[in-house]
Amino acid sequence: MGRPISELLRSGLVLRPRHKDRCTSLASPRLGIFYCSPSHSTSGESRRLLDHPSPPIDRVSTEVSTPPTAREMAETVFTPSLEGMKHVKSESSVILTKPFLDVCKQILPVLDKFGAAMALVKSDIGGNITRLENKYSSDPSKYEQLYSMVQEEVQNKTAKGSSSCTNGLLWLTRAMDFLVELFRNLLEHQDWTMSQACTDSYTKTLKKWHGWLASSSFTVAMKLAPNREKFMEVISGTGDIKADIEKFCMTFYPFLKENHDFLASVGLDDLKAS
């Protein structure tokens, strides 16, 4: 049933006629809205009101969204990669191609904060990610597992080629080794300059695989390393940067070790730069 006309008048949901007209219900009983119709139907104004009734009044939601807590908003540049690492392995504990490459891409913004010092490293990482992504995209179901493309190249005896996916995975893994070691140094050696942390990490990871030219280029680039304090401030965001760096190193390292173990099992973990 409709609401009493007196109540509707008070709430403003009906139109008050200028004359003493009677009110009748239009064909909208489900809305519970009444419009006043004049007793003399020839009135032009009243006819316009009937032909163009006022639209129903929308109900305005009174729900108030709860603002995120400080913990929920806290993020550092490592937050996306830490979240991505949760999806790197399948239920059968096999490293998946796309999630692994996505995590590697999510680390690239960290390198941007180094400026020119990491330009070569970022370029190398980006190129190897693209090479592996292109192979994966050619047949996602076939190359769903990261090592499937390596196994195929081993069978075809093309794994040692400089443009192979095997070579791309090997150098991508080595570059990530360098980054993990670098951030570990920043945590463990608070008194080191950024240049010291980078040089030590390079010596422990990439240097033995590089030729003279690559090694010399890297040494020069490290002289462009940013100020340590400013760098840490920039990457901190609103979160706990030290805690996130520690999580990053502890969580990502096992994936890299698994890559090395697999490549070693097929005799391809000791390739040097050509």
What pLDDT, on a 0 to 100 scale, did the predictor assign at position 236? 85
Residues facing 35 on adjacent strands: 24
How much is the average pLDDT of 39-51? 48
- Report whether pLDDT(254) > 50: yes
% residues pLDDT > 90 (the chain)? 55
DSSP code for 43? -
d(C-alpha 52, C-alpha 31), whole Å? 16
Residues facing 36 on adjacent strands: 23
Half-sphere exposure of 177 (CA within 13 A, CB side): 20
Q: Which CATH superfamily is domain 71-265 in?
A: Glycolipid transfer protein (1.10.3520.10)
List pLDDT tens digits, range 176-214.
Answer: 999 999 999 999 999 999 999 999 999 999 999 999 988
Given pLDDT bands bounded at 50, 70 and 90, which one contains residue 53?
low
Angle, helices 119-138/97-112, rounded to nearest 10 degrees? 160
The whole-model pTM stands at 0.73
For 237, counting Cβ atoms within 10 Å of its Cβ (0-12 exposed, 13-18 middle, 19+ buried), the class is middle
How far, CA to CA in Å, does 108 sit from each of 104, 124, 204?
Answer: 7, 11, 21
How much is the average pLDDT of 58-80? 59
Given pLDDT bands bounded at 50, 70 and 90, which one contains residue 115?
confident
- Report whether pLDDT(14) > 60: no
List pLDDT tens digits, range 134-159.
Answer: 999 999 999 999 999 999 999 999 99
In this structure, of 28-37, 131-140, 208-217, the range with the lowest mean pLDDT score is 28-37
d(C-alpha 25, C-alpha 57), whole Å? 17
253 vs 71: which has the higher pLDDT: 253
How much is the average pLDDT of 164-173? 98
DSSP code for 208? G
d(C-alpha 208, C-alpha 16), whole Å? 91
d(C-alpha 163, C-alpha 134), whole Å? 12
List pLDDT tens digits, range 72-99.
Answer: 456 888 999 999 999 999 999 999 999 9
- Give the distance from CA 175 to its chain's centroid: 21
d(C-alpha 231, C-alpha 118), whole Å? 13
**CB of 230 within 8 A of CB of 206?**
no
In this structure, of 7-21, 134-148, 241-255, the range with the lowest mean pLDDT score is 7-21
What pLDDT, on a 0 to 100 scale, did the predictor assign at position 76? 87
Dihedral (Cα; 120, 194, 210, 157), 10-degree rounding: -70
- Report whether pLDDT(109) > 50: yes
60 vs 158: which has the higher pLDDT: 158
**CB of 170 within 8 A of CB of 263?**
yes
**CB of 75 within 8 A of CB of 239?**
yes
In this structure, of 46-55, 70-79, 162-171, the range with the lowest mean pLDDT score is 46-55
CA angle 69, 72, 76 (to 5 degrees): 130
Residue limits of CATH 1.10.3520.10 in the chain: 71-265
d(C-alpha 3, C-alpha 67), whole Å? 38
Give the SS3 label for residue 109: helix
Q: Name the helix (H) or strand (E) containing 228.
A: helix 228-236
What pLDDT, on a 0 to 100 scale, did the predictor assign at position 235? 87
What pLDDT, on a 0 to 100 scale, did the predictor assign at position 51? 53
